[in-house]
Chains A and B, each alone.
Chain A
């Protein structure tokens, strides 16, 4: 059994009368990439702040690196790396200076900090910007610098709160590439995200949070197997046939159908076979598309399609 780095039992966080995290249980093992998935306001960031020892739990048990986060906060934080949701870089300093001052916060010798800073800048591909100010850097560069900064103390656990939110697709892929590289090196990652592709690419195990609780847990594959079907058949009808078509299909697949304004989705084991049966009912969709189930299907199934602001 691998070593447990974080253990939560009945972990709760309240702000006044509002419950942000409502009695969640989870274990984090050394070397894995563990994800918290959930819509905005589900309690992911509050959980991350408690793990980061910058927010005291309101109830339940939380053990991090065999220590109590309330009593031993500074000692635990010395062994964590944190990539916050919003950049907290000092934009008036240079790229390299940001790493140097951050290393000093950990009380590391200057020589060690300088060596690590240079290696980390290489790792996040910012060596040629080392002596530039942070302010004009792109969002992706700032995020990579934040990742480099979080590694200056060679942390046992790296916490990433929505690491690629707000980045363009190219920048996101570079960030994922770097995080994947860290995973290969054996760094333990905890991340929150609402991007399903990010979760599928990076996470060995994940939990889905909604309304302050954990509603599902497992590997991406397990979650898809448990909460979705192997395939999804997406159908579009011409507008005048949409209602009628959806109605008929509901008789055919009463449990496994989801109709949105412009599409009907059938959750099935075999998409091609299902399409034949649809045609057998005398329905002719204007377009059809059979695909494998993804985490997004799981996510929408578990947390609903309502809009969360």
Chain B
């Protein structure tokens, strides 16, 4: 069932990939250029001891990998999910066939996972080409970024199915996605934050994603922290998959 639903999204993507390709690939590249090289030249001139002795590009590169995975995961689970039930109603078309709400959900989520993996793969190549990666372990940043993306995509899709209006997405973007991007040790180490805010950051999924990607890219990841980060993200993704099964059924089978 999941595969049948996935086949639909792949067919749609064959038609629309040209339009999406620029925004999903170019955005992270601009960040890498502006932050890694632009801001990086300034940071490097003042010494990078607080970054662990690596260049700012190497510090920020893997974090942007995590950020773009989060963004793709959230974006693909907001308007495309909501539109499938509200605008073009293709979920209802699928629901009239042997597909179940859970199958429709998982098929779409699997497609989102494929999008996250594709975007992350391209970004990783660019990151490596720019010398932003220090360790060959960076290759594991691909599954790490996909897991991170899913940890956002699954709960977001579950939530999107409960909405009556798409206006709520703006709250997620402004008060969820943007603060996470700014305060999850993405552009500066958490040691620069006051103690209490640091504790908040430790609890957020993006921080775990950034720490995981950065640890792999710099080759500094310990097995213990890897288990914690992966475990946290996997649990969040799992909760999202469970919740999506519930909310999709409530919306499509009433």
* A→B interface (CB under 8 Å): 15, 52, 54-56, 73-75, 77-78, 80, 82, 84, 86-93, 97, 100-102, 104-107, 149, 153
Contacts and interface: CB of A to CB of B under 8 A. Distances in A.
Given A88-B92, A90-B88, A91-B88, A107 B98 contact: yes
26 contacts: A52-B96, A54-B95, A55-B253, A55-B254, A74-B98, A74-B100, A75-B98, A77-B97, A77-B98, A78-B98, A87-B89, A88-B93, A89-B93, A90-B12, A91-B88, A97-B11, A97-B15, A100-B11, A101-B8, A104-B4, A104-B8, A105-B4, A105-B94, A106-B97, A106-B98, A107-B4
Closest 7 CB pairs of A and B: A105-B97, A88-B93, A82-B96, A74-B98, A88-B89, A78-B98, A101-B8
Main secondary structure of the interface of B (DSSP, over half): helix
A295 to B, nearest CB: 29
Given A78-B97, A78-B98, A101 B11 contact: yes
A86 B88 CA distance: 10
A74 B99 contact: yes
A102 B11 contact: no
Given A89-B93, A101-B11, A107-B98, 9 more contacts: A54-B252, A80-B96, A84-B92, A88-B92, A92-B88, A97-B15, A105-B5, A106-B98, A153-B97
A56 to B, nearest CB: 7
B88 A88 contact: yes
Interface residues of B, number: 24
Interface string B62-103: 000000000000000000000000001110111111111000
Contacts of A101: 7-8, 11
Nearest to B8: A101
B98 A105 contact: yes
B11 A105 contact: no
Contacts of B16: 92
A4 B61 CA distance: 66
A109 B7 CA distance: 13
Contacts of B97: 77-78, 102, 105-106, 153
Interface string B1-22: 1001101100110011000000
B116 to A, nearest CB: 21
Contact of B90 (A52, A88, A97, A106): A88
